[in-house]
Amino acid sequence: MPKTPDPWLDYRRRRRRLLVIAAAGLVLLGLSFLPAHALHSAKPVFFALALFIGATSWASVSLSDFPCPHCGKPFIHNRDFRDGFTRECVHCQHPKWSGSLYS
């Protein structure tokens, strides 16, 4: 009988993607000052800042929309509340890092 995949692998992948994008964005933002200084223009900095904000926002929304393995609703937010450090689903209180009840 095949073993069902760990539902938390997707969560780890999304979290890692957010951290990598944020770190790379900060490096890109720092490096954008070199051409800005050479060109005597702030346009490269604004362009890097726009890329940084857009990419980290996309990755953050992707992480926050991770579905709970138990109830299928977003694990870390509901309509009125968002908690990125929660240890349980804000809808069904399913513990973080535990498997699905249906696996």
What is the structure's pLDDT at 101? Answer: 52
What is the structure's pLDDT at 5? Answer: 77
pLDDT, tens digit, 9 for 90 and up, residues 43-76 = 999 999 999 999 999 999 999 999 998 888 999 9
Q: 18-57 burial by CB neighbour count: b if 16+ within 10 A, else e?
A: beebeeebeebbeebeeebeeeeeeebbeebeebbeebbe
Domain ranges of the chain: 8-64
Backbone angles phi, psi at 98, to 5 degrees: -90, 155
What is the structure's pLDDT at 4? Answer: 61
How confident is residue 1, by pLDDT bands cut at 50, 70 and 90?
Answer: very low
State the pTM of this model: 0.82
